[in-house]
Every structure is written in structure tokens, then in C-alpha cells.
Amino acid sequence: MATENKNLSQYNKNTIPDAKNFRFGIVVSEWNQKITQGLFQGAFDAFIDCGVVKENIVRWDVPGSFELIYGCKKMQESFDMLDAVIAIGSVIKGETEHFHFVCDGVTQGIKDLNIKSDIPVIFCVLTDNIIQQSIDRSGGKHGNKGTEAAIAAIKMAQLRKEAKF
């Protein structure tokens, strides 16, 4: 497993671009809310730690992970001043094939948003087999994937800024 023996919350602030003037959107799935709230908190805390002004973080909630695509698209369209968007969700495998359809749809949808828009969307959707794996990656023993997503968003915002010149 990719995250075994790795804490997702560790980053070196000296290698992170200055984020104080960036503006970020975060779209959060309400499904598996305990997990998604933990991921949001990890992203929010990392943004603040890296100098992002609280007022420059916009949060929207959507019912489930499949709705993240539409939420991110609308956020891209509504806030042209955003530098990046994070899609936060959690899909836990159940007894049916629904898990695979949702995971594939969300992955492809977020990929499509990155192709079609100038505002990067960071994929922060946990796709775990059991709830404990999600807990471990949303503030548990493996740290917080939301933190990792925030650092990726800052780096992509900087790339977007530099690519405009």
C-alpha cells in the first residue's frame, strides 16, 4: 500500500511557494462526513500554516463524491480569481459495484476539469476498502491526505502563475 509507513501530513515549508496572495476553493462531499471533514481540516490547516489568508479560502459542500465534479466546475466558473480548487471526498467499498462506478466517474470527471479549465482541481478523494483505511488517511496514523492536497494546490497555483508569463 502506497501510504504504509508514510505520514501524509509532513511537508517542508521551505520548499512550498509563498501562498499569501493565492485564493483557493474547496468542494467537500457530505457523504462519509467524518472522513471528509477531517480531510477538509487538514487542507485548511495546511493553507493557514503556509500563509493563505482565511478569507481567501472558499468552501462549498455537495451531497456526495459524484457531485464533486459539478461543484468544482461551478466553483471554477463562479470564482475566476481562484488559483486552485480541491475536491474532497471519500468512497468506501461496499458489497456492490457502485464503488467502482463512483470512483471511476469522479476520477475521470476531475481529470476532465483539469483539461478544460485553467484553474487546477486537486484530487483528494479517498477510495478505500474499509472505513479504518479512510480514518488512517484523514488525520489518523498515516496523517492527512487533505494536507497533501493543500500543498499540491499551492504548488499548482504557483505553476499556473508562472505559466502565464
Catalytic residues, by residue number, are 98
Contact 94, 134 (CB under 8 A): no
Residue with cell 492527512: 144
Nearest Cα to 57, choosing from 77, 16, 99, 28? 28
Residue with cell 500554516: 49
Residue with cell 481529470: 111
